[in-house]
Structure 1
Amino acid sequence: MVFKNELLLLLKARYPIIYISTIEEDRIEYTIRKAISIRPPRSLYIWDFVEGYRINPLKKGFGKRNPLEAIELIEKTSSRTPSIFILKDFSRFLKDLTISRKLRNIIRFLKIQPKTIIIIDSKIRIPNELKDHITVIKFNLPTPKEIRVELMRLNKKMQGKRRLSGQFTEKVIQACQGLSLEKIRRVLGKSLAVHKKIDKNCIALILEEKRQIISQTQLLEFWPSKERLKNVGGSYNLKKWLLTRTNSFSEKAINYGLATPKGILLIGVQGSGKSLIAKAVSYEWKLPLLRLDVGRLFGGVVGESEFRVREMIMIAESLAPCVLWIDEIDKAFADSEQNSDSGTTNRVLGTLITWLAEKTLPVFVIATANDIYSLPIEILRKGRFDEIFFIGIPDKEDRRIIFEVHLKKFRPDTWYKYDTRRLSKQSRRFSGAEIEQAIVDAMYAAFNEKREFTTNDILKALARTVPILEIDPVRTDIIQNWASSGKIRMA
């Protein structure tokens, strides 16, 4: 509705050239037809390079493989009837001096005649000499309301009067957000072809479609996750905070007026479970998980790094709602003021933190860092993230739970035979990752001796391990004091 109103306003105000960036040609064409169906009536002409004009007063295929001829038709049509000329992929010809000059020549006629040019392309490419004459408007991906209409249409067509439950419909709509209408039809059609109905299996197909989109880029990775928050030992404040926001991306939450959560910054030593939490959030919230290795943002060509961060943001927003996991953000922006890279790091950082503060689309960012002292102060400012949590070394009870979680994974039938209380007592200052590795080491030792591993094997592995906190205890203790004083929040 917002797009339709903006388009009608620009047509009424006689803006000469409107530029719409989208990959959904059929949907934008339908939307334009619907918008101009009201009075006064307008003639619609559609051109593409291969077929020329499909509808025109001269002959079919006029302007075929000839963009200059396509513009000349605009001059030849009558000025009595308001007309709209849709030119597909036309931005590729705007750099041609002949095309650019011809457009600037006819613009003075367009201002006094009821004619408008609409350029449709997948990317925005406007030469400097035309920027003052072209108006760009945004055509967003389908809204939850549009997805609901399409879902109900397909369900009625294929399943008759069988109604989908409200809760399931919400999950499908949420999963479909970030896909074009054509992709939504395709993936739901695939579900109908395979399962003969729209059911819970279609959500996995939708997420696979999103994975395919991400695999075409070199910036983000799609991480399937089956981790659960209950598998995370300790961090009770953080888990409670996350669980209260489980349904924050639903249509009900939007109608309620609930603000979409922005994200969290997780600080903690290596192996404390920061990555595990990112995966668990994705699973619990039923959202796709995108992992960003910040090092991939930086390229050797001038301007490439800035382009990559904008592309990353565009991909993440196009797949919203989603969880964006920025792994070890402290490694990329450490000592950003001292980097001798002509300011590239600072520009990338500036673009990223501005987006973190101003983003409106439902992209929940989970950034992890090992060293809070390496992070620029701008990232720590309130407004970039909803909360900053410190994940400390697990206490005795948390370590017992962590041992149980890992033993259930390795020995689901006999895990209870291990003395987890004794193991917890002997693993003081161990992180969750170090506990898991101790169990793995015990398994290797026992396997080499052709027997089952025991509690004693794990105790011996613990004795051979020097926890990371023993190597650098001072810095972690300082951060823990920060958390205790309220500067950052204890997980």
Structure 2
Amino acid sequence: MDRFNDLEVLIDSQYPIICIETHEESRAEDILTRISSRLRLPFFHWVATEGLTRSGEPQPVYNTRTAMEVLNFIGTSSLEAVYLMKDLHRYLDDPLLVRKLRDLCQCFRQKRKSLFLTAPLFDIPPELVNEVVFFELSLPSSAELKELVLRVVQGLSSRRKITLKIDAATGRKLVESLKGLTLHEAERVLTRAIVHDGRLSVDDLPLILSAKKQKISQSGLIEFIPRQESFDGVGGLKNLKQWLGTRKGAFSEEAKNFGIDPPRGVLLLGIQGCGKSLMAKAVAQEWELPLLRLDTGSLYSKYIGETESNVREVIRLAESLAPVVLWIDEIEKAFSSPSGSDADGGVSARLLGTFLSWMQEKKAPVFVVATANNIHLLPPELLRKGRFDEIFFMDLPGSEERAEIFRLHLQRRKRDPAAFELAALADAAEGFSGAEIEQGIVSALYSAFSTRRELRTECILHELRSTRPLSLVMKEQIDQMRKWANGRTVSAA
């Protein structure tokens, strides 16, 4: 596996301290045990409750219960070996321990010794920053998950009767559905699925998906959004609908065999209330894919390093549910620094770099729909060709589009559009956004209901005439936005 090779390179290159950020410390230990065996190096692991234990030995090494005792042992031992210390990050506020680690780094350069640290999150002291390299333990591969399925089935079969209804295709679907979960999480959901009804079949796939949804909701970073509108429920935007329609099914195996690269995503710029969020929901419904919404405000944390960790976690969670649509609402709020790149210590710049690298290199079928209202806050790097497949500008609806929007909203509120003068309404709503048209109908409904009258064209016209649309209130800003978009973007209409 690639991660085996990468870790072997780090050991052979004599990196003194290698930090593995992961919740899967048992899996990290298993991988390091295998690598040490391949490299013919002894493997030791330490945990504060037991001490330092050599792999294969029943008892821990004498006098190695504390972190300092372990580091003393490593420093004085003539044995070339691989060491793993779990939860050492809890002790890195001790200046003596930090000094000892720095001394060991010099020692490690003389001998083939490597010290691995595992923790869910690291806050490395400044004195050690130049001595440490981080290694990201990727989620379990298909091979690991397949091996896990066999192990769980065999383990449960020894204790109870199990019915297996799995052919080759179902087995592949099962393994694919488990992707994105840790080995421990996958084992738990598999065990639950089998114990529930005494069998393992394609019917268990919804249970696995439910476990993923629960995990994602617990993260507090992204949320599942119910699919609602299809393209038919969105007025206008013909160019955008056609562009998205031609890419339906682009994540399928058939498309891959046809030579099609999976689409990366689309950036929707434009005036507030013109359907950007609605189209994000509609594309998920049209493509029959789950829809995830990123809460950009949840990315930022006051703790050093946690913000960058959050964006990596979002990427990991999105890929765990692939194929999926990832909706990033008001993306300019996530990647713009209010007063330059140094105003927040460079955090925004690092977030942007991580996101752009992922967009450029991602292989997982995650289609990003990013929306933005304030184009002047968007970093130039985000707008370069190759980041998104296309950038669309969503302007205020034209006359025909406004009539269509009136028709759709009247139908949703159990009214017959034929009973209304749609052309007159469209003319009266010139300069209105789709959201403002909807609000005009809602206000007219309240007025009609309060006077116990039926909703008529005149009621809606009255509400429209008493409304100052955004196109008047923010005329200068909208004119600037249109000028900027001309020649830089594709019209969505």
Task: Give the TM-score taking structure 1 as reference length.
Answer: 0.77
Equivalent residue for 1:430? Answer: 432
Cα separation, partners in 2 of 1:166 and 1:432, compared to 1, 3 Å: farther
How far apart are 1:49 and its partner, in Å? 0.9
Q: Could you tell me whether the CA contact under 8 Å between 2:63 and 2:69 is conserved in 1?
A: yes
Paired residues, what number?
A: 470
Map 1:338-349 to 2 at 5 A. Answer: 339=339, 343-344=342-343, 347-349=346-348
Distance, in Å, in 2 between the alignment partners of 1:135 and 1:332 is: 27
Instruction: Give the SS at the match of 2:371.
Output: strand
How far apart are 1:431 and its partner, in Å? 1.8
Distance, in Å, in 2 between the alignment partners of 1:375 and 1:19 is: 34
Cα separation, partners in 2 of 1:94 and 1:402, compared to 1, 3 Å: same
Equivalent residue for 2:293? Answer: 290
Instruction: Give the SS at the match of 2:402.
Output: helix
Equivalent in 392, 396, 403 of residue 406 of structure 2: 403
Equivalent residue for 1:314? Answer: 312
Map 1:163-242 to 2 at 5 A. Answer: 163=167, 165=169, 169=173, 173=176, 177-190=179-192, 197-200=203-206, 202-213=208-219, 215=220, 220-230=221-231, 231-242=233-244
How far apart are 1:456 and its partner, in Å? 4.9
Q: Could you tell me whether the CA contact under 8 Å between 2:20 and 2:136 is conserved in 1?
A: yes
Equivalent in 83, 86, 89 of residue 84 of structure 2: 86
Cα separation, partners in 2 of 1:106 and 1:378, compared to 1, 3 Å: closer
Equivalent residue for 2:350? Answer: 351
How far apart are 1:88 and its partner, in Å? 0.6
Q: Could you tell me whether the CA contact under 8 Å between 2:335 and 2:352 is conserved in 1?
A: no
Letter in 2 for 1:34: R
How far apart are 1:160 and its partner, in Å? 0.9
Q: Could you tell me whether the CA contact under 8 Å between 2:296 and 2:333 is conserved in 1?
A: no
Post-superposition CA distance 1:393-443 (Å, at most 9, x none): 2234433443343344333xx656654744445533332112221221232
Letter in 2 for 1:232: V
How far apart are 1:477 and its partner, in Å? 5.3
Equivalent residue for 2:394? Answer: 391
Question: Within the alignment, does 1:66 sit opposite 2:69 as a pair?
Answer: no
Equivalent residue for 1:5? Answer: 5
How far apart are 1:26 and its partner, in Å? 1.8
Equivalent residue for 1:465? Answer: 467
How far apart are 1:268 and its partner, in Å? 1.8
Equivalent residue for 1:21? Answer: 21
How far apart are 1:352 and its partner, in Å? 4.2
Cα separation, partners in 2 of 1:428 and 1:149, compared to 1, 3 Å: farther
Question: Within the alignment, does 1:139 sit opposite 2:145 as a pair?
Answer: no
Instruction: Give the SS at the match of 1:208.
Output: helix
Q: Could you tell me whether the CA contact under 8 Å between 1:46 and 1:86 is conserved in 2?
A: yes
Equivalent residue for 2:271? Answer: 269
How far apart are 1:90 and its partner, in Å? 1.6
Map 1:112-123 to 2 at 5 A. Answer: 115-123=113-121
How far apart are 1:490 and its partner, in Å? 0.5
How far apart are 1:272 and its partner, in Å? 0.4
Instruction: Give the SS at the match of 2:69.
Output: helix
Distance, in Å, in 2 between the alignment partners of 1:119 and 1:185 is: 25
Distance, in Å, in 1 between the alignment partners of 2:36 and 2:300 is: 45
Post-superposition CA distance 1:69-116 (Å, at most 9, x none): 22344367673xx64322111233344343344445555665555543
Letter in 1 for 2:205: D
Equivalent residue for 1:43? Answer: 42
Instruction: Give the SS at the match of 1:289.
Output: strand
Distance, in Å, in 2 between the alignment partners of 1:332 and 1:14 is: 38
Post-superposition CA distance 1:306-353 (Å, at most 9, x none): 8565244223223133655444455788895xx4x8941694553344
CA RMSD of aligned residues (A): 4.2
Instruction: Show structure 1 runs of 5+ residues with no match.
Output: none
Question: Within the alignment, does 1:127 sit opposite 2:125 as a pair?
Answer: yes
Cα separation, partners in 2 of 1:154 and 1:381, compared to 1, 3 Å: same
Cα separation, partners in 2 of 1:232 and 1:106, compared to 1, 3 Å: same
Letter in 1 for 2:223: F
Instruction: Give the SS at the match of 2:116.
Output: strand
Distance, in Å, in 2 between the alignment partners of 1:455 and 1:264 is: 38
Q: Could you tell me whether the CA contact under 8 Å between 2:428 and 2:464 is conserved in 1?
A: yes
Q: Percent identity?
A: 33
Distance, in Å, in 2 between the alignment partners of 1:155 and 1:418 is: 63
Distance, in Å, in 1 between the alignment partners of 2:420 and 2:256 is: 48
Distance, in Å, in 2 between the alignment partners of 1:420 and 1:192 is: 60
Instruction: Show structure 2 runs of 5+ residues with no match.
Output: none
Distance, in Å, in 2 between the alignment partners of 1:271 and 1:260 is: 30
How far apart are 1:176 and its partner, in Å? 5.2
Letter in 2 for 1:224: I
Instruction: Give the SS at the match of 1:140.
Output: coil
Question: Within the alignment, does 1:368 sit opposite 2:371 as a pair?
Answer: yes
Task: Give the TM-score taking structure 2 as reference length.
Answer: 0.77
